[in-house]
Chain A
Amino acid sequence: MDLVTPSIGLVFWTAVSFLILIVLLKKLAWKPVLGAIHERELSIEDALNKADLAREEMARLSNENEALLKQARVERDEILKEAKELKDQIVADAKNAAQEEGAKMIEKARIEINNQKIAALREVKNQVASLSLDIAEKVLRKQFDDKQKQDALVGDLLKDVKLN
């Protein structure tokens, strides 16, 4: 039957054109196309890997940052605490010093007052003594104006001496 009998001419031309086609396409198309597809796939894979790496790096960096931040916060707290302590101490020292100074000044004042009091008392005593002597002199002078009284007194005094 004609339908299933391959004609030699068509076999020949098919073989020739198919072989030419395969050679042409291999050179013109399949090599560059498959190469380009392969290269692109590699580059996509590479890019994905790089993105993964970058993401990891980012995570690492942000972790580091957080750690740094935490450390900084701790340090700040410490500094603040120290500063507070220092301030407290300074205030306390100042208070102490002021108190001491005050106490010292009070003491000094008291000593001065005492001294002044003593001096004043001494003065008063001296005044009283001299006044008393003056008074006593004047009294005695008045009493010993007459001779009789003098004798009586001497007699009294001598009496006491004997008793002792």
Chain B
Amino acid sequence: MDFSHFLNYKNSSIKAVFAFSMLFLSFNSYARQQNQDIQEVVKEEVTTGTHEEKSEKFDPTVVILEHIGDSHSWHLWGHTSIPLPVILFTPSGLEIFSSANLLNEHHEAIPYKGKNYTYLNEEEHIVVLGNDGKVNEEVSSKIIDFSITKNVAALFISVIVLVLIFTKVANSYKNRIGKAPKGLQSWIEPIIIFIRDDIARPNIGYKFEKFMPLLLTVFFFIWINNLMGLVPLFPGSANVTGNIAVTLVLSVIILIVVNINGNKYYWGHIFKPDVPFWLLPIMWVVEVIGIFSKPFALMIRLFANITAGHIIVLSLISLIFIFKTLAMAPVSISFVIFMDVLELLVAFLQAFIFTMLAALFIGMAVEEHHH
């Protein structure tokens, strides 16, 4: 396929954008076709057992899923990565070792003989190898992985960053009582006031103060993790808020907070809705599903938005490798820059939406009806 004539458009930006989108669409179909080819190749490899072609072929799906997924070591560049602790609860007891043991100098997974078993990192799942060198499915299914993975480490970093930022801000409030905000404080304060006056107060009502710490923490936690995820270098690069486990925890916390604070009107609305009595059993089912579907939507929304952003950025970068030409780089890079700027907005927007909806759900639970 020859796309060079598309690159000759220089006269107007609209034409350029149109050309780029045409390119993108064509690449998409091309990439899909390529994918199928690769899958066929992989299948062939599996059946024939040849590994020669593997290093030559580039599979964007594998690369992208690897990047947005979690991993037991923090990959920096080439064959360099930061080893992270692997913590396993095995049927024979606790096992802690460095993830460096699971990789050889070529960055390939190798088995490691631990205290109790021999472990292997099989696509980021730690499995137990039997004496015959094959995966021991029975023991493997029983081990519980509490490793400090890349996402956990990134999570810790952002927690530390948040604590540092906000203790500094709190200190400047202590040192400058009654004065106008300055520096970092003046950057954070409008956001805090925005959350208080535009999210908490209108959605929760006069009881909003009790929920302010939760809402502020949720907002800044999501936001900082979204932003860190956009940074492709070491302290960033992890897809924390695009991981379903993280969004699950956040929404479960919201679920618990909403239902603990639900007043009699909230529960009354669930168990004694204003419907004919024969509809009650259906309503109970619907309302109970509703209790869980609201935080479930929160979980999926954040996870999907952030993951989608990462996938798009990584796909655009992958184009360079799919076409195996540097001429593709300017196109990819300009799209990636565009997407990154958009993701900056999405990072804030998703943090805002999550906080907003959390406030809304809490507000619905603590609202006092006067029928």
Contacts and interface: CB of A to CB of B under 8 A. Distances in A.
A6 interface: yes
A29 B307 CA distance: 30
Given A9-B145, A36-B174, A17 B155 contact: yes
Given A24-B163, A28-B163, A13 B155 contact: yes
B245 A11 contact: yes
A34 B216 CA distance: 10
Contacts of A29: 166-167, 169-170
Contacts, number: 122
Given A18-B250, A34-B192, A9 B169 contact: no
Interface residues of B, number: 50
B214 to A, nearest CB: 7
B187 to A, nearest CB: 13
B212 interface: yes
Interface string A13-28: 1110110111011101
A17 B156 contact: yes
B246 interface: yes
Contact of B221 (A2, A11, A21, A34): A21
A126 B57 CA distance: 180
Interface string B291-303: 0000000000001
Interface in B175-192: 177-178, 189, 192
* B interface: dominant SS: helix
Interface in B206-225: 209, 212-214, 216-217, 220-221
Contacts of A3: 65, 68-69, 244, 307
A37 interface: yes
Nearest to B148: A13
A70 interface: no
B159 interface: yes
Nearest to A5: B244
Interface in B132-177: 144-149, 151-152, 155-156, 159, 162-163, 166-167, 169-170, 173-174, 177
A25 B212 contact: no
A40 to B, nearest CB: 6
Contacts of B303: 4
10 contacts: A2-B65, A2-B124, A3-B69, A15-B249, A17-B156, A18-B221, A21-B159, A30-B213, A34-B196, A39-B177
- Nearest 8 CB-CB pairs, A to B? A29-B166, A6-B245, A10-B245, A36-B173, A26-B213, A14-B249, A13-B152, A30-B213
